[in-house]
Structure 1
Amino acid sequence: MTSTPANDVWLPIAADEIEGLPEGLDYRFWDGGPDYPADPAHCAFYVVPYMKGPEVAARPLKGMDAVRVVQTLSAGIDHVEPGLGLLPAGVQLCNAKGVHEASTAELALTLVLASLRGFPAFAEGQEKEEWRSGFYPALADKSVLVVGYGSIGAAIEDRLEPFECARVVRVARSARTTGRGPVHAIGELPRLLPEADVVILSTPLNASTQGLVDAGFLAAMRDGALLVNVARGGVVDTSALLAELESGRLRAALDVTDPEPLPVGHPLWHAPHVLITPHVGGSTSAFLPRAKRLLAGQLTRFAAGEPVGNLVLTTS
């Protein structure tokens, strides 16, 4: 099919692998490689390659003079934001709400349970053929604070419900009421942190959350509390967290770090009472089916001239 100006769709998944794509658009496969599949000036709908970093995400933007929609396959948009100034006004930026909730919430619960129940020590004991029996903390009867109560935060609470927690406290940018109860404003954290046994971070990374978990935040957490980060590494001040871990006062389970990937020799690797996974919250078998459904739905609406979903912002 011959390309027509501003009719191309750049996809990081081959078009023939996605059911339900509308006709009338020219699909180009690009997963972040050095060569572009076509002239960026002809791209109308750009799907950002998944987990390729900000340099790859932003590289073609300066040539996309006629693009109308930029679609991420991640819940966060922080890797795209540095390149938004390269775009013309009126471009719609959409995220992947609905794709990562199940997987990220699964991992959040996995990190909580593995850390509380001592699984890192058990794995080490198995390697050394040591039988490390004893009593370990349970999630039951614990107070859990979820910081970042969007769709992922709500999915985390869904999975906390069967575990008989003493309570789940919700925090978001601004206060509101849900069917489950109140969502507290982020300004209430100094009052809420001392009451939590487990603090789960699921907030987006932006100017207001960069370094949110600083020395003051951590100092407000009760002794022995567990910090779980499935948000972005930049939400946490790594130096401040290291100080608390090395003192033995707090514990942490981290799917994301700052810097990331965590370099060889970084002290966080071997800090006491920390469990680290390599940013795998969304990269599971659940990702592709949900991502394909999202893209088919978004492109069907786009081809029909209907509003796209998951709109985060429009460039100006």
Structure 2
Amino acid sequence: MPSAQPPTAVFAMDPVHLPLLFPPPLMARLRRTAAIDPDLVVRDFGDPAAAGPSAAAEVLVTGWGCPRLDAAALEVLPRLRAVLHAAGSVRALVGEAVWERGIAVSSAAAANAVPVAEYTLAMILLAGKDAFAHRERYRATHALPPAAGTAAAGNAGRRVGVVGASRVGRRLLELLRPYDFEVLLSDPYVDAAEAAALGARALDLEDLLRRSDVVTLHAPDLPGTRHLLDRARLALIRDGGVLINTARGALVDHDALTAELVSGRLHAVLDVTEPEPLPAGSPLFTLPNVVLTPHIAGSLGNELERLGRTAVGELERLAAGLPLAHRVRRADLSRIA
């Protein structure tokens, strides 16, 4: 049943993100749904200036820079019943005390998956055309490539191996459907029938690595996925293959990957690394077979409003007595980012 009174809400995040997450029309929509002060953004639940609003808050609208919601934080949030995260993963945000108190948690991870999948698709297409190498050659020679120099390029029938049917992985599988690719999928939670419904052929990880021209990582960063691509598995990728990582740097053995890239055997598009950022002397900054970007695949600029819209939609559902559409449960954290 909907509440007779609008819920009382508080922003908790780095305030630098607030204007892009909630531009004026969206902020107005939010304020029609909840009692919230747009000028109060909590960064420290121990701040005396936030004590009164925190004590009254039934809902936290959170984002990047929100303090961790542990037992100490919840002591000053006695009425809290929902956390609506206008960002991706809640793993680092939500402590055990949140689950123990039965506080509902929602995430905008599905919205954040959209630009990551778009970036990945763009990189798959550009890598298939050998666009990055041709850019470097054109820069150096100022000449068009001979026909023999483009014989190995092209996206027709290229095999794309997707590792992880996460939100990003599934969105990417949708985006790949119109293209002339053979799509392979490796995910321990997805069987052959579900993979086929997603537009892919299910394979175990080793087979996928052997068969793919492009391998793109979309698995969560969990203890069991650390260095998922170790030295032995990287060696399975065919000569000239492309590795794309927009997930987390910890999924790949960085030293083993660096060795493969320095040798020139593989190519890589890396939006995430381990560590992040890389040391200034890393060869990955200058290798011609590496495209390195500074963690930009996720939501940036005008894409942040999409995250804010997700949080506002969840708040409207909460106020109307409806279940959250993007609820995260404690059990989910064993298999999602």
| TM more than 0.5 | yes
Corresponding position: 1:46 with 2:60: yes
Corresponding position: 1:70 with 2:79: no
3-state SS of 1:38 partner: helix
Q: What's the offset of the Cα at 1:103?
A: 1.5
Q: What's the offset of the Cα at 1:169?
A: 1.2
Q: Deviations over 1:199-255 (max 9, x none)?
A: 111122222322212112212222221111111222222111111112222111111
Q: Is the 8 A contact 1:68 1:92 kept in 2?
A: yes
Rg comparison, structure with higher value: 2
Q: What's the offset of the Cα at 1:164?
A: 0.9
Which of the residues 105, 116, 119 maps onto 1:104?
A: 116
Corresponding position: 1:162 with 2:173: no
Let me know the Cα RMSD of the aligned residues: 3.1
Q: What is the TM-score of this pair, normalised by structure 2?
A: 0.76
3-state SS of 1:57 partner: coil
Q: Deviations over 1:154-178 (max 9, x none)?
A: 221232233311x101222312333
Counterpart AA for 2:254: T
Aligned positions of 1:27-176 closer than 5 A: 27-28=37-38, 38-39=50-51, 40-50=54-64, 56-59=65-68, 61=70, 62-65=72-75, 66=78, 67-80=80-93, 84-85=95-96, 87=98, 89=100, 90-125=102-137, 127-128=139-140, 130-131=142-143, 133=145, 134-135=149-150, 136-165=152-181, 167-176=182-191
3-state SS of 1:139 partner: coil
Going from structure 1 to structure 2, the CA distance change for 1:31 and 1:38 (only over 3 Å counts) comes to closer
3-state SS of 1:107 partner: helix
* Cα distance in 1 for residues equivalent to 2:59 and 2:226: 29
* Cα distance in 1 for residues equivalent to 2:37 and 2:74: 15
Q: What is the TM-score of this pair, normalised by structure 1?
A: 0.81
Aligned-pair identity (%): 30
Counterpart AA for 2:164: G
Counterpart AA for 1:95: S
Q: What's the offset of the Cα at 1:287?
A: 1.7
* Cα distance in 2 for residues equivalent to 1:88 and 1:159: 35
2:335 aligns with: none
Q: Is the 8 A contact 1:175 1:183 kept in 2?
A: no
Q: What's the offset of the Cα at 1:152?
A: 1.9
3-state SS of 1:204 partner: coil
In the alignment, structure 1 segments of 5+ residues that lack a partner are 1-5, 51-55
Aligned positions of 1:1-316 closer than 5 A: 7-10=8-11, 12-13=17-18, 16-18=24-26, 19-21=28-30, 22-28=32-38, 38-39=50-51, 40-50=54-64, 56-59=65-68, 61=70, 62-65=72-75, 66=78, 67-80=80-93, 84-85=95-96, 87=98, 89=100, 90-125=102-137, 127-128=139-140, 130-131=142-143, 133=145, 134-135=149-150, 136-165=152-181, 167-176=182-191, 177-178=193-194, 179-180=197-198, 184=202, 188-284=204-300, 287-314=303-330
1:3 aligns with: none
Counterpart AA for 2:327: L
In the alignment, structure 2 segments of 5+ residues that lack a partner are 1-6, 332-337
